[in-house]
Amino acid sequence: MPRVLSGIQPTGDMHVGNYLGAVRRWVEDQDRQDALYCVVDLHALTAEFDDTTLATRTRETAMLLMAAGLDPDRCTLFVQSHVPAHTELTWILNCVATFGELRRMTQFKEKGKGQESVSVGLFDYPVLMVSDILMYEADEVPIGDDQRQHLELARDIATRFNRRFGDTFVVPKATYPEVGARVMDLQTPMAKMSKSAESANGVVLLLDPPEAISKKIKAAVTDSGTDILHDRDTKAGVSNLIEIYAAATGSSIPKVEAEFEGQGYGAFKSSVAEAVVELLTPLQRRYGELERDPAEVDRLLGLGAAKARALADPVLDRARRAIGLLPPTA
Ligand code: TYM
């Protein structure tokens, strides 16, 4: 049975892109042996962040994951900074990763664009992510398309480390959903839906009230045509809605095209809005229940961190030995 690991940042609010691209599959996969899911709070330090809300956001992200269906009894749900081994392994892997390969990371280039100065953390971010993955000997990493390059880096670093210092890490494989791997912004359908989007209207948040969800989807940018056909190059807006509908209802792109053949954009958008509201309503209800007991959420995260530490420590020890550090005596 493969081990599965993935992570999400507690920055901004979670949106349907996160859900359809990644989180929904985490819920489906959690019964696989040792599935681990991590709220990566240390990653959130790499760009602008608010120190007065970081802890609350971290808890809220964990609550959203639980509301989406992650059950801390069936998987390991934890907060990255509660397992110090991640940062130590990052240092070791920093000395295996190269400046050249990190400089090529698209996300670093995008996030750093136009900034007067960026933190070393932002540059090093992919190595922290590689540590998250290699730390738990993950075979599979369910992610959206935007994390593809980081996963390639994890594979390269694991392979390089193993070749130089002996077999130490599992070389992980990324997995993507059939539809929904790259949900686009509703207002700017050539750009991915993102927590840091300029306009809130293009992003459907998991906790948006039903009326707001409908409004955003009905106002989605389309094109001057009338056909519900999938073509990302010429019909980016409609294609995105087709994918969202297919992912939300468990259908496929050709089936959605057939279902809405001959119908106009207006009717189609109403159906997409309805499907998304239906998808998110149970999650929103569960979130409301969890919100009443934050101490219980923290307790569950404490148990998750203990489980994660028990798995991480032996792997870190193996990596320390592999590179020849003097083991401490008891
Ligand atoms: P993050 O927090 O940006 O996103 C969490 C997950 O959501 C996916 N995603 C999307 N999928 C489809 N369409 C979109 N518009 C969309 N936007 C985001 C992301 O691909 C991701 O799977 N660096 C990672 C977090 C991370 C991680 C890890 C992931 C840290 N360590 C270890 C896997 C394994 C990130 O910033 O994801």
- For ligand 1, what atom is nearest to the CA of residue 9? 2
Q: Is the CB of 11 under 6 A from ligand 1?
A: no
How far apart are alpha carbons 308 and 36 in whole angstroms? 8
Q: Is the CB of 244 under 6 A from ligand 1?
A: no
Matching CATH number, 3-180+293-323, of 3.40.50.620, 2.60.120.620, 3.40.50.2300, 3.30.70.980: 3.40.50.620
Specify the pLDDT at position 268.
97
Q: Is the CB of 192 under 6 A from ligand 1?
A: yes
Categorize the per-residue pLDDT at 29 as very low, low, confident or very high, splitting at 50, 70 and 90: confident
Specify the pLDDT at position 195.
85
Q: Is the CB of 9 under 6 A from ligand 1?
A: yes
Specify the pLDDT at position 48.
86
Q: Is the CB of 6 under 6 A from ligand 1?
A: yes
Q: Side-chain half-sphere of 99: how many Cα atoms within 13 Å? A: 1
Specify the pLDDT at position 289.
95
Do residues 22 and 142 make contact, with C-beta atoms less than 8 angstroms apart?
yes
17-41 mean pLDDT: 93
**Could you give the maximum distance between any two Cα atoms of the chain, in Å?**
74
Specify the pLDDT at position 116.
86
Q: Is the CB of 147 under 6 A from ligand 1?
A: yes
Categorize the per-residue pLDDT at 1 as very low, low, confident or very high, splitting at 50, 70 and 90: confident
Nearest CA to ligand 1 atom 6: 18
Q: Helices 294-322 and 265-291, interaxial angle, to 10°?
A: 90
Do residues 5 and 36 make contact, with C-beta atoms less than 8 angstroms apart?
yes
Mean pLDDT rounded to a whole number for the chain: 95
**For residue 279, how far is its CA from the centre of ligand 1 (angstroms)?**
20
- For ligand 1, what atom is nearest to the CA of residue 128? 31
Specify the pLDDT at position 73.
94
Domain ranges of the chain: 3-180+293-323, 200-289
Nearest CA to ligand 1 atom 22: 143
- What single-letter amino acid sits at 179? V
How far apart are alpha carbons 17 and 23 in whole angstroms? 9
In whole angstroms, how far apart are CA 226 and each of 236, 241, 260, 280, 300? Answer: 13, 14, 11, 28, 50
How far apart are alpha carbons 84 and 292 in whole angstroms? 29
- For ligand 1, what atom is nearest to the CA of residue 146? 20
Strands (E), the chain: 5-8, 36-39, 76-79, 140-142, 173-175
In whole angstroms, how far apart are CA 172 and each of 6, 102, 149, 150? Answer: 11, 19, 13, 11
**For residue 7, how far is its CA from the centre of ligand 1 (angstroms)?**
7
Q: What is the pLDDT of residues 237-292, one digit of tens each?
A: 999 999 999 999 999 999 999 999 999 999 999 999 999 999 999 999 999 999 99
- What single-letter amino acid sits at 302? G
**For residue 173, how far is its CA from the centre of ligand 1 (angstroms)?**
15
Q: Is the CB of 15 under 6 A from ligand 1?
A: no
102-127 mean pLDDT: 91
**For residue 146, how far is its CA from the centre of ligand 1 (angstroms)?**
7
Nearest CA to ligand 1 atom 36: 9
Query: Can you identify the CATH homologous superfamily of domain 200-289?
Result: Tyrosyl-Transfer RNA Synthetase (1.10.240.10)
CB atoms within 10 A of CB 51: 7
Q: Side-chain half-sphere of 61: how many Cα atoms within 13 Å? A: 28
Specify the pLDDT at position 91.
98
Active-site residue list: 111, 192, 195
- For ligand 1, what atom is nearest to the CA of residue 180? 12
